[in-house]
């Protein structure tokens, strides 16, 4: 593939191999490289390119400067059976979050519910991935996440960035049907999506971004200028309120750091509070299935000329079907950045 072309289509399996090769060359164990590749390629497959392989250059740069620790293991900060707080020690988030959620799944299956706190992890990626992990195990899950890095989002009524994009997610399993996965940043756009737009050279939708002077703009470069602009919270005061909840519940409650000042290091640090519930142990599985089916049928009962009524998670599954069959599109600038990251760790032949 030629990085000088406008864009390219990469088969998912090949992209997975490329990610594994890069992280193995950087020093990751086979397991770590595989989990990172699983997560990043899955994000691209589901249409969230902001959280996909475009993150490789940042991760590799942070690993090289020591703000990301490869091959880290979780440490226990607090353990009381159905409540556990784990510390990621700036380990790679795709592993730290996977292992924290696995611990929560095991405990919720035994005790009906478990609250899991993961603090001080490097970037844990697409939060819907962790809701999907819980749903695959038959569990309801709720996730509050904060971000400590370069502030990107202005408070409601403000013009200067003070917080991260602070995502929120919910996973609800369904019998014989794909799960309902609610997953969104509390800003109108994720910062990574602005970066994708910048790399592609396309404009943003109206009402998402302010420039450094506090004026509305559709130019994605405004977020990365010096001084930078700021994203706006979704839903005005409602999105801002949920962002505050993610900041304080996702981090402060479990002993993590909040975004209480300018960026202090190159790391992207996430903390996450996850609540996992077993409908089986609660004795409500049949009711959950029946009532979810009834609700979905009712919500979709309106005849519409323009579009099918979708449930949260449906667009991602449709995108995944298309990209599995046709390949994953990657813009030329992102590909060049991945090539540079691969070269920096001596990953021979990746990408190719």
Q: What pTM does this model have?
A: 0.94
CA distance 269 to 347: 26
- Strand order of the β-sheet with 209-210 is 216-217, 209-210, 230-231
Residue 109's H or E segment, with its range, is helix 93-111
What tens-digit pLDDT sequence spans the chain (352 residues)? 334 346 899 999 999 999 999 999 999 999 999 999 999 999 999 999 999 999 999 999 999 999 999 999 999 999 998 999 999 999 999 999 999 999 999 999 999 999 999 999 999 999 999 999 999 999 999 999 999 999 999 999 999 999 999 999 999 999 999 999 999 999 999 888 999 999 889 999 999 999 999 999 999 999 999 999 999 999 999 999 999 999 999 999 999 999 999 998 999 999 999 999 999 999 999 999 999 999 999 999 886 666 789 999 999 999 999 999 999 999 999 999 999 999 999 997 677 5
Q: Is the CATH number 3.40.50.720 carried by domain 7-286+313-344?
A: no
Q: What is the DSSP letter of 280?
A: H
* Cβ atoms 257, 163 nearer than 8 A: no
- Residue ranges of E strands in the chain: 7-10, 75-79, 83-87, 113-122, 140-148, 168-174, 177-184, 209-210, 216-217, 230-231, 269-277, 328-331
Per-residue pLDDT, 63: 98
Q: Which residues on neighbouring strands pair with residue 8, listed in sequence order?
A: 330
CA distance 253 to 98: 21
Q: What is the DSSP string of 163-202?
A: B----EEEEEEETTEEEEEEEE-SBSS-HHHHHHHHHHT-
Helix (H, G, I), strand (E, B) or coil at 330: strand
């Amino acid at each position: 593939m030629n990085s000088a072309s406008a864009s390219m289509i990469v088969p998912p399996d090949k992209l997975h191999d490329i990610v594994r090769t890069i992280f193995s060359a950087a020093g990751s164990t086979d397991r770590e490289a595989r989990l990172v590749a699983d997560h990043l390629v899955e994000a691209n497959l589901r249409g969230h390119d902001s959280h996909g392989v475009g993150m490789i250059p940042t991760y590799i740069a942070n690993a090289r400067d020591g703000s990301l620790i490869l091959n880290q293991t979780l440490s226990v900060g607090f353990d009381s059976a159905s409540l556990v707080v784990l510390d990621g020690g700036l380990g790679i988030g795709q592993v730290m979050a996977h292992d924290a959620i696995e611990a929560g799944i095991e405990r919720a299956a035994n005790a009906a519910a478990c609250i899991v706190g993961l603090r001080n992890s490097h970037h844990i990626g697409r939060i819907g991935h962790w809701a999907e992990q819980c749903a695959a195990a038959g569990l309801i899950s709720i996730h509050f996440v904060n971000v400590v890095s370069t502030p990107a989002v202005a408070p409601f009524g403000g013009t200067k960035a003070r917080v991260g994009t602070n995502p929120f997610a919910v996973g609800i399993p369904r019998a014989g049907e794909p799960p309902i996965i609610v997953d969104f940043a509390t800003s109108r756009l994720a910062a990574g999506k602005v970066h994708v737009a910048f790399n592609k050279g396309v404009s943003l939708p109206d009402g998402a971004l302010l420039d450094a002077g506090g004026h509305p703009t559709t130019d994605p470069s405004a977020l990365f200028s010096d001084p930078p602009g700021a994203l706006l919270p979704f839903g005005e005061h409602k999105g801002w309120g949920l962002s505050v909840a993610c900041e304080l519940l996702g981090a402060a409650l479990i002993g993590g750091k909040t975004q209480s000042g300018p960026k202090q290091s190159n790391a992207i640090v996430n903390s996450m509070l996850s609540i996992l519930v077993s409908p089986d142990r609660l004795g409500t599985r049949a009711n959950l299935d029946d009532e979810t089916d009834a609700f979905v049928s009712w919500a979709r009962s309106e005849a519409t000329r323009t579009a099918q009524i979708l449930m949260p998670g449906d667009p991602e599954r449709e995108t995944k079907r298309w990209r599995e069959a046709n390949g994953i599109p990657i813009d030329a600038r992102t590909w060049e950045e991945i090539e540079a990251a691969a070269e920096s760790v001596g990953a021979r032949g990746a990408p190719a």
